Amino acid sequence: QVQLQQSGAELVKPGSSVKISCKASGYTFTSYDMHWIKQQPGNGLEWIGWIYPGNGNTKYNQKFNGKATLTADKSSSTAYMQLSSLTSEDSAVYFCARGEIRGTLDYWGQGVMVTVSS
């Protein structure tokens, strides 16, 4: 069965960076896009971008250009998202999700809470 297992919660300082992971299992990792989505407490969902692990191609929401960097390691079937120059506005839960037919998000990770605080 398809599973996306994300890394644990992070408490980080303003101005720093954080890298969170999403380990995929139960399907061919290199054949599907991996999307990343942000959810702030009480707020809706924001799409950050996707990476295609098969060739490393990426597509970002312009809003997150320079904030998020998506990578993938085919050998471990793990996708990563690095967030840089963190501020309180980056405090949120971040989900990875497998992309099916043009942006259908059919399986989601459990989410990672990132808290930016001094």
Partner 1 sequence: DTVLTQSPALAVSPGERVSISCRASEGVNSYMHWYQQKPGQQPKLLIYKASNLASGVPARFSGSGSGTDFTLTIDPVEADDTATYFCQQSWNDPFTFGSGTKLEIK
Residues 34, 96 contacting (CB under 8 angstroms): yes
- When asked if residue 73 is in the footprint of partner 1 (CB under 8 A), the reply is no
The binder of partner 1 chosen from 9, 17, 55, 63 (CB under 8 A): 63
> Which one of the spans 22-30, 70-78, 81-89, 94-102 is the region binding partner 1 (CB under 8 A)?
94-102
20 — alpha (psi -120 to 50), left (phi > 0) or beta?
A: beta
> Which one of the spans 9-17, 19-27, 44-52, 69-77 is the region binding partner 1 (CB under 8 A)?
44-52
Q: How far is CA 14 from CA 20, 69, 81, in A?
A: 16, 18, 17
CA distance 115 to 118: 10
Nearer to partner 1, 11 or 45 (CB): 45
Mapping DSSP to helix (H, G, I), strand (E, B) and coil, where does residue 103 land? helix
Nearer to partner 1, 37 or 72 (CB): 37
- When asked if residue 104 is in the footprint of partner 1 (CB under 8 A), the reply is yes
- When asked if residue 26 is in the footprint of partner 1 (CB under 8 A), the reply is no
Among residues 82, 67, 89, 76, the alpha carbon closest in space to that of 14 is found at 89
Nearer to partner 1, 80 or 94 (CB): 94
Nearer to partner 1, 16 or 25 (CB): 25
